[in-house]
Structure 1
């Protein structure tokens, strides 16, 4: 997708320098910085501090982390150690573990001399697949937007939460992919962008990328979506997911559950867009999903640009106050209208997901 009119992916391998390059998302929207990742430790840190974020992109970054690991040391024990450290870097998004296990299974059958090239080929394949899957998610979601537009014949108002855009994947995004395709097709779209505290990923990232693509959008406080739905100003909600259980329960950025409840109460369709690599086929009870609790300073402190054009980090809470920073919540399947995947659109249920694979 575009930044300043130029096409970018979120991550790529620099063939000349033999390293990995990313868009540092902690600096957006105020600065656009391309950062070099030279070691597996660099990739682990990039995931932890959220220079890269979003389930598919985290998985791709972990894959490239093993590429850099094999560049340094093609020993199987080192592969196992790095794989474990990558999986532990963020616990909730299932794509991370999925990508690492896929890479590891591929590499364990290789001769030591072939490990680096095999790892690089597989990481590139994961990225290309993600682009293709996200575009297909877009095609499947586009049909839903078209149905609403053909009935309404006016601008479609879509509410999003957090960033499930191309910055969260390699390209296209999950929740934004249908929006981009609808826009390219000439369907009038307006997006309500949840600010998404505490890291403001909607305001800082989703609105940023929609602006770059020329799609009208309005940033709203996280608690505004409910009254907009009551007023009939939201036609549909589309969000992403970091982990979806085989029964259709959805684990996504904190605040998603409240949007689903408001949508259910106001009869607004609530869709979740995801590649099937985000499905957890093993955990059966959503209570068993590991919910990441991040540093409370993400709540108490906010980055902004001062009058000198410098980025400053400011404390906004009383010094003595404590804060709790849970990164994700769980939306029960009964509040999800449909799941939009690269394989098709299905009910958020065990039967619905099984039908995708028949």
Structure 2
């Protein structure tokens, strides 16, 4: 019997509206631990350290976060309020540079302020509350539509491979890449999912395998370097992945390792689908070469998961958080507005 995955509340506001409440994803799967974040520093830290992660969830957390921070601004005029609001907005935007939803949500909240220059400070705060809630509801509705479009491309009983975590934990509800799987589970499709562990932070092992297993989905965890083997055996008929940023030409930035999966899928003739909301599309970014790729702490690959250090001290490391999959390797990009073929080098 499937458990309702939406019982897990990834990001929400506290009942008194004074804090952002997140499910700390760094503690999964060992425990479901919720954190209350009430300062800009706590919110920044949670985003940077992946306590909340996934492009849409980061956007929702940022919107909630700047609303919570706005409640604390002591200002007697619009100019005083906006000066502090703008400072906090820029600070939060620096937590993770690659996921476009972070900046997009913050800019949308800023637009509310700038469009209401004659409003009182309490009214501005209330307007920000309404906008943050709208961002969350729009994300949930978009994920459901993404799931429906994605499911239309799949058949019952298919084997599906996914990379990283683009499920319920990464959004408001259902997920992006995992949304068709959850809808299919509800309708008896009986998918068999292979989840890449997704090194170095193991989001596939800790998060995707956790949430799919919790929801009663048939899921098998594999190491990243086993993807070719399961494809070769004929166990995979589709690849579903999420995205953190989509460039105007259809190139996609997603968790490191995604481009390698796309190359394998092309070799074995397996459809490679990218699923994400239109909020991840950056029309100001012409192609994948223009996407800023975050590089993370070397400790994540040298000692983070080990009792004893597993690499020589002071060895050089390269630890990019994302890679770019060129549009030529993508069978379709699936958004809440439909299914797009990027083969012509564009998503319009």
Aligned match of 1:307: none
Provide Cα deviations, 1:213-246, integer angstroms capped at 9, x if missing partner.
0001111111111122122111100000000012
Aligned-residue offset at 1:266: 0.7
Cα distance change on mapping 1:292 and 1:242 into 2, 3 Å: same
Aligned-residue offset at 1:315: 2.5
- C-alpha RMSD over aligned residues: 1.8
**2:163 maps to which of 161, 164, 170:** 161
Unpaired runs of 5+ in structure 2? 76-80
Cα distance change on mapping 1:3 and 1:187 into 2, 3 Å: closer
Query: Does residue 78 of structure 1 match 2:84?
Result: yes
Aligned-residue offset at 1:303: 3.7
1:286-297 counterparts in 2 under 5 A?
Answer: 286-297=288-299
Aligned match of 1:330: 324
Equivalent residue of 2:28, what SS? coil
- Runs of 4+ residues deviating >3 angstroms: 2-6, 349-352
Provide Cα deviations, 1:2-33, integer angstroms capped at 9, x if missing partner.
98988132111112363210100010011110
Query: In the comparison of the two structures, how many residue pairs are matched?
Result: 338
Partner Cα separation in structure 1 for residue 273 and residue 4 of structure 2: 30
Tell me if the contact between 2:3 and 2:216 (Cα under 8 Å) persists in the aligned partners. Answer: no
**1:277 maps to which of 276, 279, 283:** 279
Query: Does residue 57 of structure 1 match 2:57?
Result: yes
Aligned match of 1:310: none
Aligned match of 2:310: 316
Partner Cα separation in structure 2 for residue 142 and residue 250 of structure 1: 21
Provide Cα deviations, 1:240-260, integer angstroms capped at 9, x if missing partner.
000001211010000000000
1:120-139 counterparts in 2 under 5 A?
Answer: 120-139=129-148
Partner Cα separation in structure 2 for residue 82 and residue 45 of structure 1: 13
Unpaired runs of 5+ in structure 1? 150-154, 305-312
Q: TM-score, normalised by structure 1?
A: 0.90
1:136-147 counterparts in 2 under 5 A?
Answer: 136-146=145-155
Q: Which is strand-richer, 1 or 2?
A: 1
Cα distance change on mapping 1:352 and 1:290 into 2, 3 Å: closer
1:227-266 counterparts in 2 under 5 A?
Answer: 227-266=229-268
Aligned-residue offset at 1:285: 2.8
Aligned match of 1:308: none
Aligned match of 1:104: 110
Partner Cα separation in structure 1 for residue 52 and residue 172 of structure 2: 11
Q: TM-score, normalised by structure 2?
A: 0.93
Provide Cα deviations, 1:76-97, integer angstroms capped at 9, x if missing partner.
0011111111111100001111
Aligned-residue offset at 1:323: 2.0
Provide Cα deviations, 1:109-141, integer angstroms capped at 9, x if missing partner.
232221221111111110111000001000001
**1:198 maps to which of 197, 200, 217:** 200
Query: Does residue 93 of structure 1 match 2:99?
Result: yes
Aligned-residue offset at 1:318: 2.8
